[in-house]
Structure 1
Amino acid sequence: MTALIEELKKILNGGSAHVGLKDATANIPFDLLGERPHNLPYSIWQLVEHIRIAQWDMLEFSKDGGHKSPRWPDEYWPREIAPPDKSSWDKTLKQIDDDLMAFIEMIQTKDLYEPIAHGSGQNLLREALQIADHSAYHIAEIIVIRRLLGIWKTTS
């Protein structure tokens, strides 16, 4: 079980097969967070805020039978294309990190396979894999936007 938890921690934090959120969001000029290059339907801000909302929902669902999920899809996506200020951006990144640490703590102290009492068959293993999969998908989109904006790392 220890090996499984260690692997889950790796993929939740970005794994070794792809960039993690911290690297994907590092050093982005604030004025570019709301850009939608090539008529994409979302900005970096919208993707990061969506990751925050979805991860928060999965964390709260995993621990609280009284949790009410946001309405899909409207309440999982921010309406605004850019954060109102740098403080909002920083707060979103911090909440993602804090919620992820709380979820990782949970998977280290609870049975991964036990069905979540108020769920419909879900367990912590499923929620961990879903958080990792969902985040990886949208992190890849962030990297694509950064490439299109010319603000991603280049290799020599």
Structure 2
Amino acid sequence: MSNEHNILIQELIKMLQGGGAHATLEDALSDIEPQYRGVKPHGLPYSIWQLAEHIRIAQWDMLEFSKDGSHQSPNWPDDYWPKESEPADGAWEKTIEQIYADRAKFIELLNSGDIYAKIPHGDGQSILREALQIADHNAYHTSEIILLRRLLGIWK
């Protein structure tokens, strides 16, 4: 691989992990006491739990789409958002673990092939496009989590 390609891969990984120009998802999701995870402050439509679970579902869908032609995406938008505002017992930890595990799996995809090639079962998408979409989507919702934390008085 060319030096330029390696530089691009490293920059994509930095985007996926966040933190270059803003707080990371890890920062946004750390040290949130259980009593705050399901609160919808000031009439906002989502809780921190719903945002975290939405990130998990969307990122998982993009990962699976990128690697598996038989993957069936959830129905948009209903199946991308949890109905419950609070996580069930153990769901918070499971969601957070899967977000980070799926991100690591996607980074493996970045390092394993042609990021520019069209995904065979897609309609023009590439691994590069999916990487940019995951990074953009996660950054957007990370900022929403931070906003909710500020409104709840639990941000740094």
Q: 1:61-106 CA deviation, whole Å, 9 max, x = no partner?
A: 0000000000000000000001012x21000000000000000011
Partner in structure 2 of residue 102 of structure 1:
105
Partner in structure 1 of residue 67 of structure 2:
63
Listed as ranges, the matches of 1:28-43 within 5 Å are 28-43=32-47
Partner in structure 1 of residue 86 of structure 2:
82
Q: 1:105-143 CA deviation, whole Å, 9 max, x = no partner?
A: 110111010000000000000000000000000000000
Listed as ranges, the matches of 1:4-153 within 5 Å are 4-85=8-89, 87-153=90-156
How far apart are the structure 2 equivalents of 1:120 and 1:15? 31
| Cα distance, 1:5 vs structure 2 | 0.5
- Secondary structure of the residue aligned to 1:118 is coil
How far apart are the structure 2 equivalents of 1:48 and 1:88? 11
How far apart are the structure 2 equivalents of 1:55 and 1:110? 19
How far apart are the structure 2 equivalents of 1:15 and 1:129? 15
How far apart are the structure 1 equivalents of 2:129 and 2:118? 10
Q: TM-score, normalised on structure 2? A: 0.96
The number of equivalent residue pairs is 152
Change (3 A) 1:70 1:99: same
Identity %: 62
| Cα distance, 1:19 vs structure 2 | 1.2
Gaps of 5+ in 1: none
Poorly superposed stretches of 4+, deviation over 4 Å: none
Gaps of 5+ in 2: none
How far apart are the structure 2 equivalents of 1:144 and 1:110? 37
